[in-house]
Amino acid sequence: MATGEPSTDDSNSTTRLLWNIDLRIIPILAILSIFQGFDHLSLSAGLEAHSKEDLGLTDSQYKALYYSVDPLLALVQIPSNVLLWKLGRPSLYLAAFSGLWGVVCILRAYTSTFGGALACRILMGLFEGVLYPGGVYLISCWYTSTELALRIGIFTSAQFMSSAVTTFLFTWLVSEPAQPSNTSFYRWVFVTFGSLTMGFSVIAMIVLPDMPWNTSRWITEPQISLATLRLIGDRNKDDIRNDAMTNSFHSIIHNLRDATFWLYVLNTFSNVNCLDPIFNDILSALHVSRAATLGLVTLPFLVPLVLLLFNAWNSDRMRERFMHGQWPSAVGLLGFIAGVICLRPEVRYLTVLGGFVSNIGYAVNMAWMVENFNAPPGRRAVAIAAINSFKIVFSLWIPFTYLKSQGPRFTLAFCINGALCAVSLVSSNILKARLQRFNESMDQGDFEEAAVRRSLRDDVKATENADFRFTL
């Protein structure tokens, strides 16, 4: 090899490259995710009374505000990722929409009518829907398959961090809200989070890299060459170049026709459970002190946060996805069964904790999908957004299963949540068996079907990477 040419065997160069892209991608995405998680959490964590009082909302209007975002999050993600792939400039695209989210967040602080609040909420939902699928797509364009789970896990864990911080603050402050400069607490917090998001989006625009094939900031030419070589060794040439000829509609059709894609969708069902409608009631039934309440209200977010990071790190270390993605589903299933059987507040609190723990497998499952379907960037972008969108769609109706007539046991809701965890477990086993069969075919020299399944395209060259095997 010529002097100065990058080598994937140079551990020092690889370490420097990883530090460079880690510091410029992961913290930026995580912090933006923490800020943008505020709006949705604020309505459930303690601003209900303030929003109703400030805007004069009825119960039905408040519910309209609360449930208006998730459908938009689901609708915007596929077209957003297609647009991001076409532009190839995540530093501008993700930062710009985050900045717009901050602007609307500030505007919402000064709305005085239900219509104005709803319009702001809708816009914030549209802008928020850009970040997560776009961030996962950006991560998938820079990291090899043995590095994906931890990075996606850190990005995903920001949602738990946002939940913990927001819930703690509002539980602490909502009983005696501060009112600086005669501005209500409700308005003040929106101005604060909106301003922070706007400021940080400017930093993101400067710091975030673009794609390996078109970035030039904060990274040297040798590092770009090394990043490209690492991805070629892990995938194929077609898997890392920006294939402008890829048709996004064709990619969607391929996804919808492929059974493996739908197994990945079903794999996320343990992440669609919802316990928000009864969380506050369970805390009240425990009859603990204010200090203990502050601890108990954050525990269901902090415990999954720690477990998520360790689980993702260990999954990358062991190069194993199936068990790391599904043991949380088993914990959630056991928790919901216990919640149906027992009405003791302590047990039901553990059910809530188990329900949140069941969500931590999502980062590993997303990494599992990305590395097994890591063909052309356009199709990968569509697959990431589609799976996340389907997860949101399937979660929309869960809160409405908590019927007052079934309280306090809520048998129907708990059984549905448990059944979703069971579906995730079953589909994951089927998926593993299917991928194992593809691996066995490749061991026998038959690469065609497995290669097509891997890339979701018909024109794949099956012999491009004969060493490839699906990760299990």
pLDDT in tens, 298-318: 888 889 999 999 999 999 999
Whether the pLDDT of residue 429 is over 90: the answer is yes
Residues in contact with 153: Cβ distance below 8 Å, sequence separation at least 6, in sequence order: 308, 309, 311, 312, 313, 363, 364, 367
Average pLDDT over residues 454-468: 49
Confidence class for position 459, pLDDT limits 50, 70, 90: very low
Mean pLDDT is lowest, of 22-26, 277-281, 388-392, for 277-281
Q: What is the pTM of this model?
A: 0.88
Q: How far are the Cα atoms of 94, 332, 363, 418 from residue 70, in angstroms, in the given order?
A: 19, 22, 19, 22
Mean pLDDT is lowest, of 238-252, 267-281, 365-379, 436-450, for 238-252
Whether the pLDDT of residue 379 is over 90: the answer is no
Average pLDDT over residues 136-161: 91
Whether the pLDDT of residue 16 is over 60: the answer is yes
Give residue 200's pLDDT: 92
Residues in contact with 98: Cβ distance below 8 Å, sequence separation at least 6, in sequence order: 32, 35, 36, 127, 130, 131, 197, 200, 201, 204
Confidence class for position 321, pLDDT limits 50, 70, 90: very high
Secondary structure, 3-state, the chain: CCCCCCCCCCHHHHHHHHHHHHHHHHHHHHHHHHHHHHHHHHHHHCCHHHHHHHHCCCHHHHHHHHHCHHHHHHHHHHHHHHHHHHHCCHHHHHHHHHHHHHHHHHHHHCCCCHHHHHHHHHHHHHHHCCHHHHHHHHHHCCCCCCCHHHHHHHHHHHHHHHHHHHHHHHHHHCCCCCCHHHCCHHHHHHHHHHHHHHHHHHHHHHHCCCCCCCCCCCCCHHHHHHHHHHHHHHCCHHHCCCCCCCCHHHHHHHHHHCHHHHHHHHCCHHHCCCCHHHHHHHHHHHCCCHHHHHHHHHHHHHHHHHHHHHHHHHHHHHCCCHHHHHHHHHHHHHHHHHHHHCCCHHHHHHHHHHHHHHHHHHHHHHHHHHHHCCCCHHHHHHHHHHHHHHHHHHHCCHHHHCCHHHCCCCHHHHHHHHHHHHHHHHHHHHHHHHHHHHHHHHHCCCCHHHHHHHHCCCCCCCCCCCCCCCCC
Whether the pLDDT of residue 149 is over 90: the answer is yes
Q: What is the mean pLDDT of the chain?
A: 80
The type of residue at 275 is L
On whether the CB atoms of residues 65 and 121 are closer than 8 A, the answer is yes
Give residue 2's pLDDT: 41
Give residue 249's pLDDT: 67
More confident residue, 100 or 238: 100
Confidence class for position 47, pLDDT limits 50, 70, 90: low
pLDDT in tens, 163-219: 777 777 766 655 554 444 444 666 777 888 889 999 999 999 999 998 887 776 778
